[in-house]
A and B are shown apart, each in its own frame.
Chain A
Amino acid sequence: MLDVGLYHYLILAVALFSIGLYGVLASRNAIRVLMSLELMLNAVNINLVAFNNYLHLHDLSGQVFSIFILTVSAAEASVGLAVLIALFRRTHSADMEQYSILQG
């Protein structure tokens, strides 16, 4: 049981993903929501690298996939922060509760 195997990494990734999901759903600060999103993406990265290491070693495709996820998450963070700053200039707040412009 104490031997570390694939399942330990998968369970670790589930825990990290769950914490990130809670942060996305329950946080009021928009920047904290962005940080939690990055946590979720990192949990997926751990899954990919773990599967690659334990089940798919005739090729390093899993590591290449997580490099792509790294790229996408960097793009997502920059655009997300730009949207946040545009919203901040409009509402003068980083509180998610103030972003109800679309309610009509």
Chain B
Amino acid sequence: MKREKDFKFILVDILLIIGIILPIVCGMVLDVLTSPAVDGVNITGARIYFTINMPIQDFPITEAQINSAIVVISLLFLCLFLTHGIKEKPDSIRQHIAEYIVEKTDSLVHDNMGRYFMSFAPFIAAIMGISLLSSLLSLVGLFPPTSDINIIAGWSILVFFIITHYKMKCGPLYYLKGLTEPIVLLTPLNILGEVSTPISMAFRHYGNVLSGSVISVLITAALQGLSQKLLGWIPGTLGQFPLLQIGLPAVLSIYFDVFSSCLQAFIFAMLTMLNISTAFPQEDYLARQRRKAEKRRIRNAGKMISTN
């Protein structure tokens, strides 16, 4: 009986691992099948796979969108895998890993946003995970979705809406009054400051990832030229083979891909937390709640008197 259960458990495990790996493999196959043959420096944006015809504007499906969907599916199966078969008393490594991630995110949110925003922990963890996996996708040779401005602009517009929502917690009039805060003359600058938050968040992440990939491509091309200059006198295919390209770009990739990706994911999540928590006027909100409660009490008391 127990054995059969174990067999089922292992089967589900294997299916989940396949669910993690299969989207990435599909993406790689798609990339290999559709990539045009070029040599040397090739820096382009995301390739367009196909275009859906729409009434107002055509809707291109690009590599970045497909790859971010791949990241989302992989992350979903990774979460399912980590939380598969969790017990009250953890006895497996994966449950320790899952609990470590949850505890770290909780403490990060608690330290940076305060107790009121504890429900934001899953959102922050999701942003961090998607950003990290998207940037790390360049390690398997796929186009990282974070080096396309459209993807990150989507995230930062989402964050912008959350920020504005929390600024409007005390009512839209309070928000509009806050725009004219020191003096009325500064209103255009304040509006500019509002709009520049998502733009700066998007460009920071995008610029870092893009610069890393551009520098990697340039250095790879330069090494090819250098190896042809140095070793071109060797007859046969050995002279044409770019020997210097072996190994050296990998060392750079440790900084540009691994370290920079982790840092940018952390910074994006950190800025999201700080922006949201500073946008919320907590004391004014509490005062307003208290005022409202008082008004309601007075009105209720008046009703009671009138009915009596």
Are A and B physically bound partners?
no
Which residues of A line the B interface, CB within 8 A? none
Residues of B whose CB lies within 8 Å of any CB of A are: none
